[in-house]
Structure 1
């Protein structure tokens, strides 16, 4: 018996079907163009403009980029720009490492030690409670704890552990890193937890049946299969910390420099071309970091 054939498409149907996917993607492409590509193109364009105390001067000049890297050719000392990037990268590395360890531990506990789905959901929601309030409020909440006359110093002096209040608890590198970890650890927990929940539990059982210890199973099974979540969480944390200026300003007492802080100050003084040039350089550095991270795993294939 011959297989019946589908009726032929009416005239004009085939081109319409070829065009349909483009029409479906058009709204998303338009949003991407208007809210990402166009603003980015404007920032790059303004970075080559000139300016004075009163106005922007449209044109094409590399003066802003030369001003940023002025003095960097001197090998005897780091220029201000390199010192600022060094400080920003230091905070970024510390926060990334602490949030990675903390986020992985919390995600591991939720994924493998909490058996009840309801309890998993409850504990996961509890982790999101800090996000119900403003970042600024959460940062300011550390001031009465870590200040010179704060609760922590009062407890340390009262217990006789120190003779005088500890000065470096607030408005220091320590307080900045602490605030970053407090604010952004959740960005590491969520993708790692998602990756761990997708791990086939039979693989864990197979490793245990083969005589693998808990640490061997963690290192050879769980961590490799969680690498997608680790990379995604790392991208979230690194990109946020690299451009942050509010946290460093508040918790650093306006005494610690960062690239984001420099851009904010330049914009406040209406030096928009110089701020745009700094933003372009910062974007290039962040993209290089992201490229290096994605070389470890092809996120598109893993998702």
Structure 2
């Protein structure tokens, strides 16, 4: 079998996986791009060619003449970028801290396995169920507000706990911290412990060891986790809808609303712009770390 594999050219061995990639990834993207150039019709999808969908998407941008502020599209993307930045920062801090503790302070592989199993248990349930579980805690008459009022710390319920930017970010962090933590943990487990001992022998403080040894050697995991988290947040519409009370705008939510109103060409144009921004972000990150070489 090995002899046969060596005899086959590399491109031929990669052909089956390449075909699957083309059919289930490239072809759908090309179809979305094609639909974004079709004329908008309220009753049917009619093939054609027009840039009107992109013109409609960026109508009045960057400054809307009627309101004097940013156009709706720019506001929506800024809202999405805000969630991405906040969630990325919080998940990075939490994921790095948890991964560091498990990798360097948990002595045995068995204990590490148990901890990881416990941390992945929530993923055995639906994202929607995990989000809804926050509502009895954060609601106007939820557990947190009632507990604070009973303790005399507040006189009336805090409205910003639920259906707000806070609740959306909280749900995103809850859902995505593991996607940041696991790649960082994998990178940390590959660090030669002799390097840490050498840093200690040279008189490096714990902070110097962290910033000059651990963080540079885990940059691949940080990059992969960042790609996971930001791409998931950028396209999400369920979390924003449920935890934002259908009142907070995001790009994913906008696309979902457009498809519900059968505005498929406009939704496809929005999806193409979103995809272009996400790809630009991934390319920029790859310039910081060469993933092909590091992996």
Corresponding residue of 1:97: 89
1:34 aligns with 2:23: yes
Post-superposition offset of 1:21: 2.9
1:43 aligns with 2:35: no
Q: Among 113, 121, 135, which residue is 2:113 paired with? A: 121
Q: Among 217, 221, 232, which residue is 1:229 paired with? A: 221
Secondary structure class of the residue paired with 1:295: helix
| Separation of aligned partners in 2, 1:102 and 1:17 | 45
Q: Which runs of 5+ in 1 are unaligned?
A: 1-12
1:281 aligns with 2:270: no
| Separation of aligned partners in 1, 2:227 and 2:279 | 10
| Separation of aligned partners in 2, 1:127 and 1:270 | 40
Post-superposition offset of 1:20: 4.0
Q: Among 100, 114, 132, which residue is 1:108 paired with? A: 100
| Separation of aligned partners in 2, 1:216 and 1:238 | 29
Q: How many residues align?
A: 290
Secondary structure class of the residue paired with 1:139: helix
Q: Which runs of 5+ in 2 are unaligned?
A: none
TM-score relative to the length of structure 2: 0.96
TM-align CA RMSD: 1.5
| Separation of aligned partners in 1, 2:164 and 2:207 | 36
Corresponding residue of 1:292: 284
- The structure with the larger Rg is 1
| Separation of aligned partners in 1, 2:109 and 2:6 | 43
Tell me if structure 1 keeps the 8 A contact 2:62–2:74.
no
1:212-251 matches, within 5 Å, as: 212-251=204-243
Post-superposition offset of 1:77: 1.9
| Separation of aligned partners in 1, 2:279 and 2:210 | 30
Secondary structure class of the residue paired with 2:288: coil
| Separation of aligned partners in 1, 2:119 and 2:214 | 22
Corresponding residue of 1:68: 57
Distance 1:214 1:17, change over 3 A: closer
TM-score relative to the length of structure 1: 0.93
Distance 1:159 1:135, change over 3 A: same
1:23 aligns with 2:12: yes
1:129-148 matches, within 5 Å, as: 129-148=121-140
Corresponding residue of 2:200: 208
Corresponding residue of 1:261: 253
| Separation of aligned partners in 1, 2:91 and 2:52 | 39
Corresponding residue of 1:6: none
| Separation of aligned partners in 1, 2:8 and 2:26 | 24
Secondary structure class of the residue paired with 1:154: helix
Q: Among 186, 195, 198, which residue is 1:194 paired with? A: 186
Corresponding residue of 1:4: none
